[in-house]
Amino acid sequence: MSNEVQDVTVEEVVATETEATQDLTVETEADASGEVDETETTEEAEQVEVDYKAKSEKLEKKLAADQAKINRQRAALSQLQKEKQELASRQAEVQVEQQSSVPQADDYDTYEQFETARSDYYKEQGRLEGERVALENHQRALQDQSLKVEREQFAKAEQEFRTALPTYDESKVEVEQFLQVKPINGATGDAIYAQAARDGSLPAVINYFGENNGERLSELEHIATMTPVEAAVEVYKIQQKIKSAPTAPKAKPIPAPITKVRGTGTKSKGLDANSSGDDVLKTLGLK
C-alpha cells in the first residue's frame, strides 16, 4: 500500500514537472515572439521617420526653387523696366534731332559748302531714322518680355490668392465685366495697372474692387477719371488697406511623425473569458 502511494506520488511529481516545463517553453516562445513584434514595430517606425525626412527635404527643395524663380523673374522685370526707360529717353532725343531744319544755302559762303552740309544732313537723318526703327523694335521686344514675366508672376500670385480665398474668381468676373463696359485706357490705365501689380498684389486689388458683387467698382470708376499720378496714389492707398486681406498660406514642412513606440515592458497576461471582475479591476489599475 505504501509503495502504491509512493508510485502515485512520483508519477504526479513527474507529470507536474513536465507540465511546468511545457509552460516554461510556451512562455519562452511567447516572450521571443513579443521581442520579434517589438523589433518589427521599431523597424516600421524608423522607416516612417526616413520617409518623413525624405518628403520634407523634397518639399524644402521645391520651395527654395520656386522662390529662386520668383527672384529671377523680379530681377528680370526690373532690368527690363530700366531698359525701357533708357530706350524711351533715347527715342525722345532722336525725335528732337530729326526735327532739325534742313540746311539753307544762305547760311553758307559757297555752294559747295551748302551741298556738303545738305548731304551730311540727309545722311544723318537716314541714320537717325534707322536708329528710330531699331529702337521701336527693341521696345516691342522688351514689352513682350515684360508681359511674359508679368503674366507668369500674376498667374502664380493669382493661384496662391485663389487657394486662400475661393471667392476670388467671382470678384474677378465682376471687374472684367465692368472693364468690358467701361475700359480704362491711356496713361491712367497704365498707371493703375503698374501700381496694382507691384509686389504681386494685383489679385488682391482685383478682389478689393470686385468682391461682394462689385460693391467697390464705383471707386475704380472714380480713379479712372484721375491723372496717372493721382490714380497710382489712390491704388497705393487701397493696397495699404488690404494688407491684412487673406493670403495663401505658405507651404509648411511635413509634420514630424508620431513618436515611435518601443516595447520595453514585460509581457502581461491578457484578460480572457474566465477572468473575474477582480481581474478586470486589477488590470485597469483600479484595485
Average pLDDT, stretch 181-206?
91
CA distance 108 to 19: 136
Q: What is the pLDDT of residue 210?
A: 95
Q: Which of 100-114, 156-170, 232-246 has the lowest mean pLDDT?
A: 232-246
pLDDT digits (tens, 9 = 90+) for 117-141: 999 999 999 999 999 999 999 988 8
For residues 228 and 187, the answer to whether their CB atoms sit within 8 Å is yes
* Region class of 138: left (phi > 0), else alpha (psi between -120 and 50), else beta: alpha
Average pLDDT, stretch 56-60?
76
Answer with the residue of higher pLDDT: 73 or 239: 239
With 90 as the cut, is the pLDDT of residue 32 above it?
A: no
Domain ranges of the chain: 165-250
HSE-CB at 77 with a 13 A cutoff on CA atoms is 20
* Chain mean pLDDT for the chain: 77
pLDDT digits (tens, 9 = 90+) for 221-233: 999 999 999 999 9
Q: Which three cell numbers stand for residue 268?
A: 502581461
CA distance 45 to 261: 8
Average pLDDT, stretch 147-172?
90
CA distance 27 to 36: 14
Q: What is the pLDDT of residue 80?
A: 76
